[in-house]
Amino acid sequence: MIDCPEAVRRMWAYLDHALARGATEEFETHLDACQRCCGELEFSRHLKELAATSGAESVPDPLRRRIEMLLGGGGTGTDPGTPHD
């Protein structure tokens, strides 16, 4: 299975419907197992809508980087199999 940083990397392509079918399936499989990324997807979707309505072509880089950091940066010592609430 793909890990959280990989899922986040694919999230943006997923929202753009730019993922290949296999990559989409891996991404959705990860979301099923990972509450954390599932929340991030909703958040990202919301961001993307905001960006669309404000005329931006994509989510601003700093925001994107921040989400990637949230999921991929401070992950030492956490158990990926245990969803947090």
Q: Which residues are near Zn ion by CB under 5 A?
A: 4, 7, 34, 36-37
Q: Which is nearer to Zn ion, 35 or 65 (CB)?
A: 35
Q: Which is nearer to Zn ion, 37 or 47 (CB)?
A: 37
Buried b (16+ CB within 10 A) or exposed e, 12-29: bebbeeebeeeeeebbee
What is the smallest separation between the CB atom of 37 and Zn ion, expressed in angstroms? Answer: 3
CA proximity to 36, closest of 1, 67, 76: 67
What is the smallest separation between the CB atom of 33 and Zn ion, expressed in angstroms? Answer: 8
Q: Are 11 and 59 in contact (CB under 8 A)?
A: no
Q: Which is nearer to Zn ion, 30 or 59 (CB)?
A: 30
- Return the DSSP state at 73: T
What is the smallest separation between the CB atom of 20 and Zn ion, expressed in angstroms? Answer: 20
